[in-house]
Amino acid sequence: MIDKGSDERVEILSEQELGRTLSRLASQVLESVSDSRELLFLGIPTRGVHLSRVLAKELEPIAGHSIDQGSLDPTFHRDDLGRVGTRMVQPTDLPNSVEGREVVLVDDVIFTGRTVRAALEALQAWGRPQRVMLLVMVDRGHREVPIQPDFCGRKVPTRRTESIELRLSDVDGEEGVYLRQLP
């Protein structure tokens, strides 16, 4: 447990553990599809976009080709904007059509499930994938809708007064997963 007045963070995954977890998740995704050329990683802003890039890069040497990757911002499809507030909307960036593709929605942390629910709704506006899967680095529980990840790096039970941070070197200059007490 973290002191309420503390700005300290607790390491959940070290840089090395995060690297192993990324490799495992990439392998699990690859094993779940019959044709890796049909894979499309769509990151959910903000950290999910960066995570999907890392995973696509991790898969490239294993698959023998580049993996399509883009982003999907579900902000305008949320049913809880009044409660959670709004961040700057990010552009949705699809490298090509989602029709008939094996789409992997990628997010850093799944909490209530409402962001993923909104992302599924937003995805419908862009076409009909063959299948949609969900990959998250951390599942922290507290679901409010019946959504579960297909691929999960780590389950970390948390209090609602705590947050989980995924840190990636391309963005943060360090790598790891951390638990922090909310102010």
Query: Could you read off the pLDDT tens digit of each residue along the chain, which spans 183 residues?
Result: 444 445 689 999 999 999 999 999 999 999 999 999 999 999 999 899 999 999 999 999 999 999 999 999 998 776 665 565 565 677 888 998 999 999 999 999 999 999 999 999 999 999 999 999 999 999 999 999 999 999 999 999 999 999 999 999 999 999 999 999 998
Give the per-residue pLDDT at 76. 75
- May I ask the CATH class of domain 8-77+86-179? alpha beta
Per-residue pLDDT, 116 = 97
Which pLDDT score, from 0 to 100, does residue 4 have?
A: 46
b (16+ CB within 10 A) / e for 22-37: beebbeebeeebeebe
pTM of this prediction?
0.91
Backbone φ, ψ for residue 161 (5° rounding): -90, 10
Whole-number pLDDT of residue 156: 97
Asked if residue 147 lies in contact with residue 111, where contact means CB atoms within 8 angstroms, the answer is: no
In this prediction, residue 2 carries a pLDDT of: 45
pLDDT recorded at residue 77: 76
User: What pLDDT score was predicted for residue 124?
Assistant: 94
The dihedral sign for the CA sequence 59, 60, 61, 62? positive
